[in-house]
């Protein structure tokens, strides 16, 4: 891994982006879907971001992606954007803070899926315990009296649906790490976002009838939220995450999962009056403790820590 000063600056900027920006996107998604259908909003977000990335790639005269790089970009993009779209749908029924905490447990799935399907090796007992603690916290959210808003189409199963989103995101993260020697980073991101946007558009036409939707009723607040998600959530945050996933070890990339829920829960409480019940706070603490056990390395020899 490079150690020069420019790499360290890029590394710091990327981590700050996924730490802070993505922590705020859960609440901003809530504002966007107030008057924009969630799958339509997801499709618009990533189509716009993909076109901007493509324009930058043309300006920089990036070379074409290899066949394998394009396949990895497209497949991982479908997984990642679909995962994001599921979060947008579920936030119609659950507070943004709950969504952030459940999705924040994504490193658990990265460890388990990596172990089962990506030959990352058997994790240490400490990590397995951390995963179990985190999953118990998620279970507490699923069955506890976390919020009266956890009702409607998904009801108490909403946190479980969010786990599916987390699984998709974890798999997409592991898949995109297989893209080796990517020199055309903007083309990779453009293809990744557009492939995901196409799937989101399919869901949009399947469930939301966007052509007959009255777009004149979309509020200024929702348009501004969509703009924020395009610029900060996708162009900045998604780009930073994709770069980190290809250049930094997964357990380090996953540390954003410790920060995002804290920011999201606080913003949801402060700006959207989302409730903070004792059950929810206890469950959040369990998830964060599990993530600490899972992600931070012990002082054992590296050969004993395969995950």
Q: For 272-303, write each residue's pLDDT tens digit.
A: 888 777 887 888 888 888 777 776 655 544 33
Report which of residues 297 and 24 the model is more confident about. 24
Interacting residues of 69 by C-beta distance below 8 A, sequence separation 6+: 179, 182, 184, 188
> Is there a contact between 226 and 36 (Cβ–Cβ < 8 Å)?
yes
User: Could you say which DSSP state residue 305 is in?
Assistant: -
pLDDT number for residue 54: 95
Q: Is the pLDDT of residue 305 over 70?
A: no
Rounded to 5 degrees, what are φ and ψ at 180? Answer: -95, 145
How far apart (Å, rounded) are the C-alpha atoms in residues 141 and 48?
A: 34
Distance CA 287, CA 278 (A): 14
Q: Are 35 and 219 in contact (CB under 8 A)?
A: yes
Closest CA to 54 of 175, 183, 229, 185: 185
pLDDT reported for residue 85: 94
Can you give the residue range of the structural domain that contains 57? Answer: 11-304
Q: Quick one: average pLDDT of 254-259?
A: 75
Rounded-to-integer distance, Cα 231 and Cα 226, Å: 9
105, 257 Cβ separation under 8 angstroms: yes
| Cα–Cα distance measured from residue 283 to residue 134, given in angstroms and rounded to the nearest whole number | 9
Average pLDDT of the segment spanning 126-147:
71
Task: Note the Cα 111 to chain centre separation in Å.
Answer: 16
Six-digit token pair at 64?
A: 């074409």
Distance CA 178, CA 259 (A): 26
Question: In this structure, what token pair is assigned to residue 282?
Answer: 């206890």
Q: Are 205 and 9 in contact (CB under 8 A)?
A: no
The answer to whether position 27 is within a domain reads yes
Q: What is the pLDDT of residues 80-132, one digit of tens each?
A: 999 999 999 988 888 888 888 878 777 777 777 777 766 666 777 877 888 78
End-to-end Cα distance, the chain:
18
- In a domain, residue 1? The reply is no
Percent of the chain with pLDDT over 70: 87
Average pLDDT, the chain: 82
4 inside domain: no
What is the domain count for the chain?
A: 1
Q: Which two tokens stand for residue 225?
A: 């939220």
- Distance between CA atoms of 306 and 229, rounded to whole angstroms? 36
Cβ atoms of residues 25 and 237 within 8 Å: yes
227 in any annotated domain: yes
pLDDT tens digits along 211-256:
999 999 999 999 999 999 999 998 998 888 878 877 777 667 777 7
Higher per-residue confidence, 81 vs 150:
81
C-alpha distances (whole Å) from 213 to each of 30, 37, 43, 290 are 19, 9, 15, 43
Output the pTM of the full model.
0.81
**Alpha carbon distance 289, 39 (integer Å):** 33
* Assigned domain for 214 exists: yes
pLDDT-derived band at 143, boundaries 50, 70, 90: low
Q: Residue 23: inside a domain, yes or no?
A: yes
**How many C-beta atoms surround the C-beta of residue 12 within 10 A?**
10
What value, to the nearest 5°, has the Cα angle with vertex 82 and ends 79 and 88?
Answer: 145
With contact defined as beta carbons under 8 Å apart, do 34 and 222 qualify? yes
């Amino acid at each position: 891994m490079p150690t020069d000063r420019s790499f360290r600056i890029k590394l710091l900027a990327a981590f700050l982006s996924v730490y802070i920006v993505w922590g705020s996107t859960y609440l901003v998604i809530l504002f966007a879907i107030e008057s924009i259908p969630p799958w339509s909003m997801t499709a618009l977000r990533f189509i716009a971001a993909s076109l901007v990335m493509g324009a930058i790639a043309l300006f920089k005269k990036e070379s074409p992606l290899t066949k394998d790089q394009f396949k990895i970009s497209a497949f991982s993009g479908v997984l990642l954007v679909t995962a994001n779209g599921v979060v947008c749908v579920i936030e119609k029924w659950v507070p943004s803070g709950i969504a952030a905490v459940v999705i924040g447990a994504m490193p658990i799935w990265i460890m388990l899926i990596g172990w089962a399907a990506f030959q990352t090796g058997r994790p240490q007992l400490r990590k397995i315990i951390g995963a179990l603690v985190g999953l118990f916290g998620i279970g507490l959210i699923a069955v506890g009296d976390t919020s009266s808003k956890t009702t409607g189409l998904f009801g108490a199963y909403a946190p479980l649906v969010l786990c599916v989103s987390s699984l998709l995101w974890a798999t997409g993260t592991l898949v995109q790490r297989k893209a080796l020697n990517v020199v055309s980073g903007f083309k990779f991101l453009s293809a990744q976002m557009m492939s995901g946007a196409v799937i989101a558009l399919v869901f949009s036409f399947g469930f939301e009838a966007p052509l007959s939707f009255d777009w004149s009723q979309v509020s200024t607040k929702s348009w501004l939220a969509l703009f924020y998600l395009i610029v900060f959530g996708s162009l900045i945050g998604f780009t930073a995450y994709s770069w980190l996933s290809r250049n930094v070890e997964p357990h380090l990339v996953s540390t954003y999962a410790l920060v995002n829920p804290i920011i999201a829960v606080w913003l949801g409480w402060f700006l959207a009056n989302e409730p903070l019940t004792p059950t929810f706070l206890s469950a959040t603490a369990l998830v964060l403790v599990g993530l600490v056990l899972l992600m931070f390395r012990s002082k054992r020899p590296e050969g004993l820590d395969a995950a």
